[in-house]
Amino acid sequence: MKMTQEIENRNNGARYSSTLLKSISKPGRYAGGEYGQIVKDKATVKARFAFAFPDSYEIGMSNLGMRILYGALNSHEDIWCERVFAPWVDMQEQMIGHDLALCALESGDAVREFDFLGFTLQYEMCYTTVLNMLSLAHIPLRAEDRCEEHPLVIGGGPCAYNPEPVADFFDLFNIGEGEEMLPEIVRLYIRMKDEGRYTRADFLHEAARTIPGVYVPSLYRVSYHEDGTIEAYTPIYDDIPTKIEKRIIQDLDRAYFPKTVVMPYIETVQDRITVEVGRGCIRGCRFCQAGMVYRPVREKTPDVINCQAREIFDTTGYEELSLSSLSISDYTRVGELTDKLLEWTNPNMVNLSLPSLRADSFTKELMDKVTSIRASSITFAPEAGSQRLRDVINKNLDEADLMRAVNVAFEAGKNQIKLYFMQGHPTETDADLAEIPALAHRVIDEYYKNPNRNKARPPQVTISVSPFIPKPFTPFQWEAQDTLEEMRRKQAFVGTCVTDRKIKYNHHDAPTCRIEAVLARGDRRLGKALEEACRRGFKFDAWSEYFDYDAWMSVFADTGIDPAFYANRAYGLDEVLPWDIIDCGVTKAFLKRERERAYKAATTPNCREACSGCGANKWGGERACCPNSKS
């Protein structure tokens, strides 16, 4: 403990000045000093890593991947990983006005001084914020413009499965799960420095050559056909892979998992304990990228999950525990797990929350375990209104399942149901769309038919409809997105079919979804548009108040990019796709098969019922639900 006199005499001069922090909103975003943050001696560590989340502190601090990788890197004594988030707009103005460079939270040192700057790419709409942060950090945007003294800028996360639109700005990408790969990259850096043979170029080449899952975009040349489609990817060295295989963790039980959390003082979006129960999803919805790229489906054992959750509770005191999974009720031992958890969560007044419940596995038993959550609403995602269209997208959900699930909720006293849908799926007609509000009407009818309903308040059904966005590595990756006009027409059409005031209708912003489609299926040529967008001050495009569609259109026009080429064009089945440089496990042959079945409205059984031969089982994995044989 410091003496009082010392406290009175100390100077607050480091990092952002106190005068600056006192002049902006929510200074707690930039102060650091949270309980659980890791501080090391910068004189003795061998590599400094700034882990950047390209969004606000409140969003970034909620991210489980960041919590894991922060701990995984810091578990190496000679690596110091710190956090950095995108400063909010008022802070950015001050930083630019006073020529202050972006700092990391723990040390308050400029990230420009670090060895690595790693961005997690969680959604496409964060790309402009990535460039915005590089520019605030006073680091050249393009990898080719950086010199030896600049940090190596690396990227990972779900959007790295098609890294091409941001390829110009990154020195290196991690493809796949990072717990093992990321420390390997930093260790190679330390080793080369120790051996006195480090240069930026040699490091990148050696990483690409020796570390599976590493993609160094500058080592691959892309050529194009006259029609603008890609001709080929050509590695510039013959000792680097021609296709980058994603990395997976073989045994999730033994993978690094943090024992604590950096505790934010200010309120964040998901301020609670989050523990994964597994990775991947057995379902195979044909629009869903996560359901494809996280294969093979692997589970953790209940004891491990229980211990990890308990350990974090002991070190944090959080009042809520959330089990993270793409579909929690598909976890094979969900009953056993929740029983174990409830043994200590109940007496400690910790709420258990189970997100992403599927309607067909939503039971009274499961419901009783989560009633501790006071929310009066429950959410299901039928994704399409008609059974035909649900078969097209392989949702594998019957209306009867949904009606059974809402009745369970009604009998538990809930009277608000939220239903998520998408519009613009392949083969969709207005008749399919009209089924969205019709389904909501039938849920309301179901409420009144249920004698055990909560009669205190009238029911409310909220339908949220988002436009379909074709994503890489899905059976729908080749599909065209509806034009903006068509998206808007459909949104209005659905609205006209809502005739009951007990139904609330929301829809997603169509222009945002169009830009997201461009970025999701983009290639390297988008780099110049993103660079120009950054020059024009774009940032926080995931925030509706900062998203400006017309400004995007002028950026595209001025940089010679046709957004329709990426969003509204059906990609050719034999075309070289921008993400063909990546091997994420599921094969193109499988995706094509699934696409054909979609057009025939034929469903495919889930991974547990039958193997559909997607190809991801070639990597094995402990407690994977795949057959062991490599197909």
Measured from the CB atom, is 35 or 237 closer to another protein?
Answer: 35
How far is residue 337's CA from residue 334's CA, in Å, rounded to a whole number?
Answer: 5
* CA–CA distance, 102 with 94 (Å, rounded to integer): 11
Q: Does residue 370 touch another protein according to CB under 8 A? A: no
When asked if residue 12 is in the footprint of another protein (CB under 8 A), the reply is yes
Contacts of 216 (CB under 8 A, 6+ apart): 171, 172, 173, 204, 205, 207, 208, 240
**To the nearest 5 percent, what fractions of the chain are helix, strand and coil?**
40, 15, 45
Which residue in 89, 101, 266, 564 binds another protein (CB under 8 A)?
Answer: 266
Interface residues for another protein in 168-187 (CB under 8 A)? Answer: none
Closest CA to 182 of 161, 212, 203, 158: 212
Q: Could you tell me the smallest distance in angstroms from the CB atom of residue 319 to another protein?
A: 7
- Could you tell me the smallest distance in angstroms from the CB atom of residue 255 to another protein? 19
Least spacing, CB of residue 376 vs another protein, in Å: 14
Q: Could you tell me which stretch among 10-18, 430-438, 454-462, 584-592 binds another protein (CB under 8 A)?
A: 10-18
Contact between 265 and another protein by CB under 8 A: the answer reads: yes
Radius of gyration of the chain (CA): 25
Cβ 318 to another protein shortest distance, Å? 6
| CB of 364 vs another protein, minimal distance in Å | 23
The alpha carbon of residue 377 and the mean position of all alpha carbons in its chain are separated, in whole angstroms, by: 24
Q: Give the tokens for residue 444.
A: 């309301």
Enumerate residues 312-331 that contact another protein by CB under 8 A: 313-319
The rounded distance, in Å, linking the Cα atoms of 586 and 596 is: 16
The DSSP 8-state label assigned to residue 571 in this structure reads P
Query: Minimum Å distance from CB 23 to another protein?
Result: 9
Tokens linked to 257: 């998992």
d(CA 253, CA 251): 5
Strands 582-583 and 214-215: unpaired
8 A C-beta contact, residue 203 and residue 139: no
CB 593 within 8 A of CB 600: no
Number of residues that bind another protein (CB under 8 A): 39
Residue 613 is a binding residue for another protein (CB under 8 A):
no
Q: Are strands 320-324 and 230-235 parallel, antiparallel or unpaired?
A: unpaired
DSSP state of 161: G
Among 42, 78, 98, 346, binds another protein (CB under 8 A): 98
Determine the 3-state secondary structure of 354 from DSSP. Answer: coil
87 in contact with another protein (CB under 8 A): no
Options 91-99, 133-141, 380-388, 606-614: segment touching another protein (CB under 8 A): 91-99
Interface with another protein (CB under 8 A), residue from 234, 348, 452, 506: 348
Residues 18-77 that bind another protein (CB under 8 A): 18-22, 27-28, 31-36
Which of 32, 87 has the CB closer to another protein?
A: 32
Stretch that binds another protein, among 70-78, 94-102, 181-189, 533-541 (CB under 8 A): 94-102
Closest approach, Cβ 15 to another protein, in A, equals: 9
Q: Rounded to whole angstroms, how far apart are CA atoms 30 and 9?
A: 23
Q: Which of residues 59 and 261 has its CB atom nearest to another protein in the complex?
A: 261
User: Among residues 311 and 399, whose Cβ is nearest to another protein?
Assistant: 311
Q: How big is the CA angle at 260 (ends 254 and 264), to the nearest 5 degrees?
A: 140
* Beta carbon of residue 332, minimum distance to another protein (angstroms, whole number): 31
263 is a site residue for another protein (CB under 8 A) = yes
User: Does residue 2 bind another protein (CB under 8 A)?
Assistant: yes
Residues near another protein (CB under 8 A): 1-2, 4, 7-8, 12-13, 17-22, 27-28, 31-36, 94, 97-98, 259, 263, 265-267, 313-319, 348-349, 374
